[in-house]
Amino acid sequence: MLSPLSSHAAARAQRAAASFASQLKVAGHSRDRPPGPRTLRATPSAVRPTLYQGSMRPMSPEDRSVDAAVVPRGATGIVLCGEPCALTGSCRLGIQVERLDGADSAYFEIECPADHRESPDLAHGAWTAAILSEMCGVLPVLLGTIAYMGTLTVRFQAPVQMGERLIGRATLDRRERRKFFVSATLSSSSTGSELAKASMIMIAAKAD
């Protein structure tokens, strides 16, 4: 896990979390819950058309979404949820490194935290599903917008060992208006073998 933040950095993370909460004024929402019939509200300065590179066309004005600049970041730039991660400044699921890797994909380095193990040597299956979900959810943010989970399908292929640095990748396969079709994989850094994979359909948070 990342080392503890300084008091100055912790205060900055708390301010970011407060800003995030104030701009996402939808009761009961989280990044893992689709907005449904409700509308995500944001100040006009936090709204812009979503931009894509590669094969992805720009989003039309009718489908404009909330600018991901309102999402809190850690001291190293890692995307954080509003609570509790933005308050501590680190990802509770164990993401250590996170960056865009090409026009429509992202690269992650991950270690399963000790409190997510199911035995001394193995990560819990629920953690594996959660980290795949997190990678899928982070990718739209890295591409400039906020989106919520619609459906998630996970395939477990091999046990995940505790104490090993894992490699994650998320890819935006295609987009249909506000729908994002994202896939993710989790692999061993020592053997290169794929341990689990997921596909997710996400819905871009629509601005007023």
- pLDDT of the chain, 208 residues: tens digit per residue: 334 444 444 455 555 555 555 544 443 444 444 444 333 333 333 333 333 334 344 445 555 567 788 899 998 889 998 888 999 999 999 999 999 999 999 999 999 999 999 999 999 999 999 999 999 999 999 999 999 999 999 999 999 999 999 999 999 999 999 999 999 999 999 999 999 999 999 999 887 6
Which domains, ranges and CATH numbers included, belong to the chain?
7-204 (3.10.129.10)
State residue 67's pLDDT score.
Answer: 77
Query: Taking the C-alpha atoms of 66, 183, 186 and 120 in order, what is their torsion angle to the nearest 10 degrees?
Result: 70
DSSP string, 147-208: EEEEEEEEEE-SPPBTT--EEEEEEEEEEETTEEEEEEEEEETTT--EEEEEEEEEEEPBB-
Strands 105-110 and 166-176: antiparallel
- Per the CB < 8 A criterion, the answer to whether 38 and 126 are in contact is no
Residue type, 208: D
pLDDT in the model for residue 60: 53
Strands (E), 81-146: 95-100, 105-110
pLDDT of residue 70: 84
Give the pLDDT of residue 14.
54
- Whole-number pLDDT of residue 180: 96
DSSP-derived letter for residue 24 is -
What pLDDT is attached to residue 10? 47
What pLDDT is recorded for position 18? 55
- The CA–CA distances, whole Å, from 133 to 138, 183, 201 equal 9, 9, 11
Predicted local distance difference test score (pLDDT) of residue 62 = 52
* Predicted pLDDT at 51: 36
C-beta atoms surrounding 20 within 10 Å? 18
